[in-house]
Amino acid sequence: MNKISASRARLEQLLDGAFAQRFIITVIVLNAVVLGLETVPSVMQRAGSALKIADQAMLGIFVIELSLRLIAMGPKRFFREPWNVFDFIIVGIALMPASGPFAVLRALRVLRVLRLISVVPSMRRVVEALIKSLPGMGSIAALLAIILYVFGVMATKLFGADHPEWFGSLSRSLFTLFQIMTTEGWADIARAVMVEQAYAWIFFLSFLLIGTFTVLNLFIAVIVNAMQEDAEAKPDPLVLAELRAIREEINALKAQSPN
């Protein structure tokens, strides 16, 4: 039993090693390139079969890598890690039949590129911080919705009669304000409204200052704060890997000891 555990530990260490990680990252990037080339008709005419073979070969590599990781970690530990579950689902979708009613799954093959997030530690930390910031972002989103609603009602009453294409109803006003919040063409809308109502600039500038430059920046602040807290709470993964390797070597020595 100890020999089996030591073998599984060595396999896990090998899979988490720098060479294996670089190899998987390279395969993911190449797979992304192949999937992109499949959207070019001229390339598909010349090398369509070769691209399909390459795609299947890379999928086979992903399946082998996940299978080895499942063996090394065991089912309980494997499925306890959210990123392992994420990889398992992504590869599982690619293995499903993509014909008949499941033809839409053919387009979902590109989801394999998302495995790059789980493999690259820096990307993984960003996503984890983003997930942890969701409660705070929910509060900010609710605040933004209230601001949009208040300004939407005001815009409908103030500008709806003169500019029904933008502010003729509450739904149109909300959509227009959302466009203004992204700063896309807001100056053209504001100038057109100011032709009939010269003081309309006060409304638009107030909305931009409150909705765009203040509330939207709060989203960034919450995410950055979550990333900082996550970095302070988690030790360096390289240090953890070294400690894990030392512990495994000690356990292997104990297993080989005659006592």
CATH number of 71's domain: 1.20.120.350
Whether 107 and 199 share a structural domain: no
Give the best-scoring range by mean pLDDT among 152-156, 185-189, 239-243. 152-156
One domain for residues 115 and 6: yes
Total number of domains in the chain? 2
Domain range for 96 is 2-119
Q: Is 99 helix (H, G, I), strand (E, B) or coil?
A: coil
Instruction: Kindly state whether residue 165 falls inside one of the protein's structural domains.
Output: yes
**Is the torsion defined by CA of 211, 203, 157, 178 positive or negative?**
negative
In a domain, 44, yes or no: yes
The pLDDT score that the predictor gives to residue 90 is 84
Question: Is pLDDT above 60 for 37?
Answer: yes
Residue 216 has pLDDT above 70, yes or no: yes
Instruction: Give the residue from 140, 122, 132, 136 showing the smallest Cα distance to 229.
Output: 132
Whether 6 shows a pLDDT value over 70: the answer reads yes
**Does position 95 have pLDDT exceeding 70, yes or no?**
yes
Q: Is residue 242 part of a domain?
A: no
The pLDDT of 130-152, averaged and rounded, is 85
Reported as a pLDDT band with limits 50, 70 and 90, residue 101 is: low
Average of per-residue pLDDT across 166-179? 92
Backbone angles phi and psi of 35, in degrees to 5: -65, -35
Task: Report if residue 244 sits inside a domain.
Answer: no
Please state, in angstroms and rounded to a whole number, the distance separating the CA atoms of residues 16 and 22.
10
Residues 6+ positions from 147 with CB-CB distance below 8 Å: 207, 210, 211, 215
124 occurs within a structural domain: no
Residue 110 has pLDDT above 80, yes or no: no
144 pLDDT tier (thresholds 50, 70, 90):
confident
Pair 103, 21 in one domain: yes
Q: Is the pLDDT of residue 153 over 90?
A: yes
Asked, for residue 128, whether it belongs to a domain, the answer is no
What is the pLDDT, as a whole number, of residue 152? 93
Per-chain mean pLDDT for the chain: 81
Q: Are 65 and 57 in contact (CB under 8 A)?
A: no
Phi-psi group of 130: left, alpha or beta (phi > 0 → left; psi -120 to 50 → alpha; rest → beta):
alpha
